[in-house]
Amino acid sequence: MAKATSSAPPAGSHAAAPINQSLTPDDKIGLYRLMSRIRRFEQVSLQHYQGGKMAGFLHLYIGQESVAVGTISLLGENDHVITAYRDHAHALAVGMGMDECMAELFGKATGCSKGKGGSMHYFEPSKNYWGGHGIVAGQTPLGLGLAYGLKFKKLKGAALCYLGDGAVNQGAFHESLNLAALWSLPVIYIIENNGYSMGTSQSRSSAYPSCLAERAAGYDMDWELFSGEDIYEVRARTQVAIERAHTLSRPAVLEIATYRWEGHSVADANKEKYRTKEEVERFKNEHDPIQRWKRVLIEEGIASEEDLKKIDKEAQKEAEASGDFAKASPYPTPESIFEDVYWEVDNKTDAGQTGRHFFND
Amino acid sequence: MPRRLSYRHALREAFDEELARDPMVVLMGEEVAQYNGAYKVTEGLWDKWGDDRIVDTPISEAGFIGMGIGASMLGVRPVMELMFWSFYTVAWDQIVNNAAMVRYMSGGKINCPIVIRGPANGGTGVGATHSHTPENILANFPGMKCVCPSNAYDAKGLMKAAIRDNDPVMFMESTKLYGEEWDVPSNDELPDGELFIPLGVADVKREGSDITLIAHGRAVITCLKAAEILEAEHGISAEVVDIRTIRPLDEETILESVAKTHRAIYVEENKPFCGVGAQIAYMIQSTIFDELDAPVLRINSLDAPAIYSPPLEAIQLPTPEVVVEKALSIC
Ligand SMILES: Cc1ncc(C[n+]2csc(CCOP(=O)(O)OP(=O)(O)O)c2C)c(N)n1
Ligand SMILES: [Mg+2]
């Protein structure tokens, strides 16, 4: 363990924000560990994807880890999370295990959705995690509904609803913004702006005043734009919105600038065409949120390079083990195709046993 | 004298009773609260239950239907009105991909106890955009349930079952029926103290021995009229089976009736291609082929978008005369 330095963060810096001052050294290392685990999980999943172990899409979050980890680290008992299809990081950040997440990619019965959802459709309501949604912006009214439910039940909480910079152009999102502001619902929309929706850059897809979040002004809603690179900043600025949601039931739109290193999905055939190699390299080399946090931990004397390498190694091991777990797990049985369609049928209630529910012949 | 109640008031009674029974029930939609409902189905409920339980929404079907689905995942029990079911297209992604799929994709971890309701019928001079009958389309999605009551009694009992159901229920009413009255006993006249009709149970609305007319929604009324004509003018005894819910479906009642009469026609105000009747005709022939003395026929609305011109609109939907004619062709 490196020797702790005594210098306090400069006043007014994000590190000095009360929400960050309340972090213990262990908490800070925990944030590092989580980001490292997310990255290793996805790197290992990519290997298995390339090894033909899974079907469909695999949308990687590599490069964006500080956004999910920073924002979700602020959440309490009655705060909820819902996101789009780039959902692995949010799942691990709310505390889902690598095993069930990896097994879901493999389509195994031990997956978090029993192999019925796949990469884009992770869910864990017991951890306030409501997916994992494959239709661009389709989750934005649902996030609003979670906030409605909180307010209706008189619970002090917020719903964090993530979406991409391409999703902001869907009508359902705009309808949600209007309803959120009109009814003062505690939903916080977090635009994870990685600059591209598939191969379309922000400037080719959106008309906007100074930034995408400023559109919220048209709905008389609070908004913010900030960089997602530094966890301190993500936490400090998101906390303001969470507090407003908790105490005033006010919604917000936060636009967090970030960057994805990989293609839109692993199947992105054009990933080297719509942006330059130099651009990608620059973000990898100069704006890696994990490296950035690593420097903070070392500068603050909380951990040494070696301590952090050890964490990376453990994360790698855990991710590889989750691959083994997924490989060894059974596929769902053919009978299970008809499970989890109707609550009433699954629970063998009178309603579930009255009338024919499935029409297979 | 049994109590007479209109279809709309029967629905309102169901809402009122469910609002009283379960504090998680919320009614929501365009003009449902202060305006008392575009078709007065929710009249007086806002006065009684207030802003928390009866909620006026902006004209944002994707936004508020999706919001209701999200709230239902957290245990709220929203009853959402589409001013016309025709506007389902605007909220379609939320209904299909969220309400009907989220339970499956989450491996059973989530359920959506939501009711989406409103009128779904043609015949009122509002043109093609406002005359859609999407019950066959909705029922095509496993995960969804679909209910089409033909009268006030069923509307009340089925609405109560729909609200208590833990899966998403699409409930389709008819503006043509809202003002019509039926016998609907009050709760103190009923042995169970309430009117409750489980989903998935068909009802024989008229007994007969020569032919079975099967239908849902307002087409049941058409069939009952046709049955009277068949009896009076042709000496043919027609049985009328009201399936009441499209999914889940009570196949036994249909099959029992057809096995008795040996002839069947499905009548619906829906379009023919892959309509509800197509499914049921298939089911009948594949199950009791030997019982049939004639091919199973069907009658639908004429296969074009709903026409506006009033005299033509009247013949686009099945009439008792068309049903009689078709019945005579196989009896
Ligand atoms: C309604 C809909 N249209 C198109 C797609 C295909 N699609 C999936 S992701 C995507 C790009 C979205 O980009 P963005 O919102 O910026 O999120 P990011 O992938 O960058 O996280 C597209 C076009 C879809 N899934 N849903
Ligand atoms: Mg993007």
| Residue B156 shares a structural domain with residue B72 | yes
Distance (Å, whole) CA A243 – CA A77: 14
Length of chain B: 331
Mark which of B189, B217, B238 sits at the end of a domain.
B189
Under an 8 A CB cutoff, do A114 and B248 touch?
A: no
In a domain, B152, yes or no: yes
Please tell me whether the overall predicted TM-score, pTM, comes out greater than 0.90 for this model.
Answer: yes
CATH number reported for the structural domain that contains residue B306 in this entry: 3.40.50.920
Number of H helices, E strands in chain B: 12, 14
CA R_g for chain B? 20
CATH number reported for the structural domain that contains residue B62 in this entry: 3.40.50.970
* B94 contacts in chain A (CB < 8 Å): 138, 141, 172
Checking if the pLDDT of A1 tops 70, the result is no
> What stretch of H or E contains A323?
helix A305-328
* A153 contacts in chain B (CB < 8 Å): 74-76
| Residue B150 shares a structural domain with residue B207 | no
Measure A156 CA to ligand 1 centroid, in angstroms: 32
What residue numbers bound the domain in which B181 lies? 4-189
| Residue B53 shares a structural domain with residue B183 | yes
In a domain, B195, yes or no: no
Distance (Å, whole) CA A32 – CA A290: 7
Report whether B55 contacts A97 (CB < 8 A): no
Give residue-wise pLDDT tens across range A20-44: 999 999 999 999 999 999 999 999 9
**How many domains are contained in chain B?**
2
* B58 contacts in chain A (CB < 8 Å): 175, 178-179, 182
Number of H helices, E strands in chain A: 13, 7
Which residues of B belong to the active site? 61, 130
Distance (Å, whole) CA A89 – CA A96: 10
Under an 8 A CB cutoff, do A357 and B247 touch?
A: yes
Is A165 close to ligand 1, i.e. is its CB under 6 Å away?
yes
| Residue B111 shares a structural domain with residue B251 | no
| Residue B182 shares a structural domain with residue B218 | no
Q: What angle do CA A244, A169, B29 make, to 5 degrees?
A: 65
| Residue B306 shares a structural domain with residue B225 | yes
Checking if the pLDDT of B45 tops 80, the result is yes
Give residue-wise pLDDT tens across range B282-328: 999 999 999 999 999 999 999 999 999 999 999 999 999 999 999 99
Distance (Å, whole) CA B173 – CA B79: 14
Interface test with A, best of B27, B69, B74 (most A CBs within 10 A): B74
Ligand 1, atom 7, residue with closest C-alpha:
A136
B278 contact A CB<8A: no
In a domain, B247, yes or no: yes
A145 contact B CB<8A: yes
State how far the alpha carbon of B290 is from the alpha carbons of B236, B262, B263, B324, in Å. Answer: 22, 9, 11, 25
Ligand 1, atom 8, residue with closest C-alpha:
A136
State how far the alpha carbon of A247 is from the alpha carbons of A143, A180, A235, A305, in Å. Answer: 19, 15, 18, 40
Whether the bond into A330 is cis, omega within 30 of 0: no
| Residue B48 shares a structural domain with residue B112 | yes
B214 contact A CB<8A: no
A43: burial class by Cβ within 10 Å (0-12, 13-18, 19+)? middle
Mark which of B127, B162, B189 sits at the end of a domain.
B189
Nearest in space to A261 (alpha carbons), one of A61, A9, A1, A28 = A61
Ligand 1, atom 18, residue with closest C-alpha:
A164
Checking if the pLDDT of B160 tops 50, the result is yes
Give residue-wise pLDDT tens across range A240-257: 999 999 999 999 999 999
Q: Where are the domains of chain A?
A: 4-12+25-330
Is A263 close to ligand 1, i.e. is its CB under 6 Å away?
no
* pLDDT for residue A7: 66
| Residue B231 shares a structural domain with residue B307 | yes
Distance (Å, whole) CA A64 – CA A104: 22
Nearest to A179 among B63, B97, B145 (CB): B63
| Residue B120 shares a structural domain with residue B207 | no
A124 contact B CB<8A: yes
* pLDDT for residue A342: 98
CATH fold of A4-12+25-330 reads Rossmann fold (3.40.50)
Measure A165 CA to ligand 2 centroid, in angstroms: 5
Interface predicted TM-score (ipTM) of this complex, two decimals: 0.92
| Residue B145 shares a structural domain with residue B249 | no
Report whether B241 contacts B205 (CB < 8 A): yes
Report whether B86 contacts A198 (CB < 8 A): no
Average pLDDT over residues B261-281: 97
Please give the mean pLDDT across all residues of chain A. Answer: 96
Is A167 close to ligand 1, i.e. is its CB under 6 Å away?
yes
SS3 A151: helix
| Residue B9 shares a structural domain with residue B148 | yes
Partner B, chain A 179-238, Cβ-Cβ below 8 Å = 179, 182
State how far the alpha carbon of B21 is from the alpha carbons of A189, A350, B83, B158, in Å. Answer: 35, 20, 25, 16
Distance (Å, whole) CA B12 – CA B48: 12
Model confidence at A2, pLDDT cuts 50, 70, 90, reads very low
| Residue B249 shares a structural domain with residue B132 | no
Phi, psi of B323 (to 5 degrees): -65, -45
Report whether B102 contacts B168 (CB < 8 A): no
